[in-house]
Amino acid sequence: MNARKAFAQRLRGRTPMIGTFVKLRDPAVIEILGGLGFDFVVIDAEHAPFDRESIACSTLAARAANLAALVRIPCIEGQWISTSLDCGAAGIVVPQVRSAAMAAELVRKFSYRDGARGFSPSTAAAGYGARGIAGHLEAQAEETVLICQIEDRAAVGEAGDIAATDGVDGLLVGPVDLAVSEGGTDPGASDIMAMGEQVMGAARTIGVSGGMFVSDTSACSRWSHCGATLFVLGTDQSFLQQSARAGLAIARQATQ
């Protein structure tokens, strides 16, 4: 079973998984993370300069590392969804989803069946033609997922309806965006945490995966108890900064 199908099955089964955002375009970053045992990565095309070529290289690295790679797209235009999935992404993370109507439109753009998404059997995801038309159509439904990000108060109120939209596989809370949308800067503030708990409850009630961006590993236990099953643990940049900062501090102290 390939990493995409295994990830989709675990996500839909609400099996706890841990990943991280990737903002650096060097494919070696993804290969390294895969070797460490992460369950998935999220290639951040919303806030980092990923284009079609760099998404292709990053998903190639993920396949080499047997690691599921999601792509967070910068907008809901269909070509971003098609490009990412054709390159071999295990799924799409969509920011700023605010309603069930928007979720339904995303599902339509995600699907081949009504003609909203162009089809090719010769893409990387299709094994460069090895699967054939029927084989790829069947496989894509089993190995790609759609995750909607909840990032403001209005979306929190609609979380249950978004989760209940046929074709949506999970919700992901962006606590920093929630805080900023409320005019604050503290993603750990009590009102922001309460909104996160509300989204986790909605996901659990509907039976889809509830995801949380976690910058502090000590918060994983709390969110797990709230029903979260998908944990996006920091970013490649933050790991680099933390390790470099710690190493530099030790070296400075040792050489004084």
HEC-encoded secondary structure of 53-108: HHHHHHHHHHHHCCCEEEEECCCCCHHHHHHHHHCCCCEEEECCCCCHHHHHHHHH
Answer yes or no: pTM beyond 0.85.
Answer: yes
Give the rounded distance of the alpha carbon of 113 from its chain centre: 24
Number of structural domains (the chain) is 1
Distance (Å) of CA 193 to CA 94, 166, 170: 21, 27, 19
**What's the pLDDT score for residue 63?**
96
Q: What are phi and psi of 68, to 5 degrees?
A: -75, 130
**Full residue range of the structural domain in which residue 219 is found:** 3-254
Supply the pLDDT for residue 1: 81
CATH code of 155's domain: 3.20.20.60
- Say what the pLDDT of residue 78 is: 80
| Amino acid found at 100 | A
**Rounded Cα gap, residues 92 and 86, in angstroms:** 12
Give the distance between the most distant pair of CA atoms in the chain: 68
Each residue's pLDDT, cut to its tens digit, for the chain (256 residues) gives 899 999 999 999 999 999 999 999 999 999 999 999 999 999 999 999 999 999 999 999 999 999 999 999 999 888 999 999 999 999 999 999 999 999 999 999 999 877 688 999 999 999 999 999 999 999 998 999 999 999 999 999 999 999 999 999 999 999 999 999 999 999 999 999 999 999 999 999 999 999 999 998 989 999 999 999 999 999 999 999 999 999 999 999 999 9
The Cα-based distances of 27 to 20, 124, 126, 239 in angstroms read: 14, 16, 21, 16
List beta partners, residue 213: 232
By the 10 Å C-beta count (0-12 exposed, 13-18 middle, 19+ buried), 245 is classed as exposed
pLDDT at 115: 65
